[in-house]
Structure 1
Amino acid sequence: MSSVTLTVPDSDIEQARTVVPEAARVALVLGSGLSGLADIAEDACSLSYSDLEGFPQVGSVAGHAGRLVGGRLSGVPVALFQGRAHPYQGVSAHDASYPVRLAAALGCDTLIVTNAAGGVRETLSPGDIVLLSDQINLTGRSPLTGWAGPEGGTPFVPMRDAYDPGLRQSAVAAALETGVEIEPEGVYCGLPGPAYETPAEVAMLRTLGADLVGMSTVHEVVVARALGMRVLGFSLVTNAAAGVGLSHEEVLEAGRAAASDLTGLMLAILRGL
């Protein structure tokens, strides 16, 4: 008998409802250095992840505020997750997907994921914003292991269009509207971390077809698709993968430097929704 479900505790839904508008249909997961979008939300209310029974309590990573924020962006009711739990912190792939499961339970049908990533493709540079078109899960884990699937269905989730083509078209249009330069396609590869990649690993990833590499996102997207959510994803290139002198502070600084462009782009995308 399977013990894995994609539900969340009723108490967490009740808690989240105290800050997230009933009309919210869009959830955003904000990665390292990218959580400032929540600071400009209108009518914002927030609660700490520590107030949520089901959220894995692993402590915060620098650049992750560890809060659920409800409010409006461009007039659109949203749920904003400032930070996430990562498998490298010792949580399961299933638990790493908790923000997505909670967002779905709140009625959100669209998920926007952001992350800070290393640039594997040689043409990418720090500061580039990449619209994700596909992903590779090399973490060795699946958040759906042990899940029996939806009632009357199977646990075999189609991933051909993991990142929704229609949403990607809207994002390209928003970039043109705002004048924000983006790379229109990129394949994100998720690795377990917490060590950064070696030069040999980067060469391997390049051969496999990855453009970007990071330590998050892939499990969230798998669960979102299992729950029928549409997904839009962005990576901010914070470093050349296996770059000399790479540090987490450099990752955060790249996020701060790109904050204005990312903010303008996200607001335009939400207006289009």
Structure 2
Amino acid sequence: MSDVLSAIQAIQARAPGFTPKVGIILGSGLGGLADQVQDAIAIPYSEIPGFPISSVHGHAGTLVLGKLSGTNVAVFKGRVHFYEGHGAGIMSVPVRALKALGAETLMVTNAAGSLRPEVGPGKLMLITDHINMIPGNPLIGANDDAIGPRFLPMAGAYEPDYCERMRSTAKKLSIELAEGTYIAVPGPMFETPAEIRMFAKWGADAVGMSTVPEVILARHCGLKVAAVSAITNLGEGLSDFPLSHDQTLQYAGVAARDLGRLVLAFLEGI
């Protein structure tokens, strides 16, 4: 908890009196939304105690405070992943600091591979549930009852009202929005064709290497969650196109146009 308090103090020193209502974590190649924040105050993660710095291209490592669609937001431009050599709780301080600053909602975005051929690169998928294959989880260890319960129910982790609002918002904007279950894997290698077939049989619709630990942390401390994947590729074995991180960033940029419109309109109703 001391790291969270130190993080809060560092943020408040740069933005006195600012209270975010919504936190937004931007995934690989999706950082452009942070450039639209009005009255922006940008704080490098390196200046906030307990905020981890990513080693991955496409994750800038900056907290941007300000307004989007008239809503006070804290935009996390980049995240750190389990595969970078950290435990599953590496995003604990950012998420818990967000809640302690007064936020009510966490919106999570990511770049993901689709397990459904009809949901191809450049499209968006609303996450309605998840499967966690990342070793461990951020709640392992002693529980702080002041933050959240020891035994956390995960039914409805993705706020049903927010899911419905996302659907209606996408429809109004004529944005094609698939939906389904996201499976989180440790990475950093892409999956084998056999793994993709297995995940599909388990009921997964998209696969990625993030998000679930952040959702667990958010639900534990009482934040409501909305989450959207930017589909950057089809899973291995579903396409002849070779997978690469460059492809991830390229198609995340394509999907980011619709994602930005969707997020801005969604925030108008918060």
TM-score w.r.t. length of structure 1: 0.92
Q: Deviations over 1:198-255 (max 9, x none)?
A: 0011011011110010000000000111111100000011000115411101111111
2-structure distance, mates of 1:13, 1:98: 9
> For residue 218 of structure 2, what is the aligned residue in structure 1?
224
Partner of 2:114: 119
Pairing 1:1-273 to 2, within 5 Å after superposition = 8-17=3-12, 18-19=14-15, 22-57=18-53, 59-151=54-146, 154-183=149-178, 185-242=179-236, 243=239, 244-273=241-270
Equivalent residue letter for 1:173: S
Partner of 1:85: helix, strand, or coil?
coil
Partner SS, residue 228 of structure 2: strand
| 1:19–1:46 CA contact under 8 A, matched in 2 | no
The ranges of structure 1 where at least 4 consecutive aligned residues each deviate by more than 3 angstroms after the TM superposition are 151-154
Q: For 1:22-59, what per-residue CA distance to the aligned partner results, in whole angstroms no more than 9, with x for missing partners? A: 231100000001110000110011011111121224x4
Quickly say closer, same or farther: Cα 1:52–1:23, change in 2 above 3 A.
closer
**Whole-Å Cα distance in 1 between the matches of residues 93 and 10 of structure 2?**
15
Query: Once the 2 structures are TM-superposed, how far is the Cα of residue 69 of structure 1 from its aligned partner?
Result: 0.3
1:80 alignment partner, SS class:
strand
Conserved 8 A contact 2:24-2:108: yes
CA contact (8 A) 2:29 2:253 kept: yes
Amino acid in structure 2 at the alignment position of 1:13: I
Contact kept? 2:45, 2:62, Cα under 8 Å? yes
Give the 3-state SS of the residue equivalent to 1:186 in structure 2.
Answer: strand
Structure 2 gaps, min length 5: none
After superposing the two structures, state which structure 1 stretch, 88-97 or 156-165, moved more.
Answer: 88-97
Shift of 1:153: 7.2
The 3 A distance-change label for structure 1 pair 35 and 152 is closer
Q: By how many angstroms is 1:271 displaced?
A: 0.3
For residues 149 and 48 of structure 1, what CA distance do their matches in structure 2 show? Answer: 28
Asked whether the equivalents of residues 24 and 76 of structure 2 are also in contact (C-alpha less than 8 Å), the reply is: yes
Aligned 8 A contact 2:26 2:109 in 1: yes
Residue 122 of structure 1, CA deviation = 3.1
Shift of residue 98 of structure 1?
3.3
SS at match of 2:83: helix
RMSD, aligned CA: 1.7
Unpaired runs of at least 5, structure 1: none
* 8 A contact 2:4–2:93 mirrored in 1: no
Q: How many residues align?
A: 266
Separation of aligned partners in 1, 2:96 and 2:111: 22
Partner of 2:183, secondary structure, is: strand
TM norm structure 2? 0.93
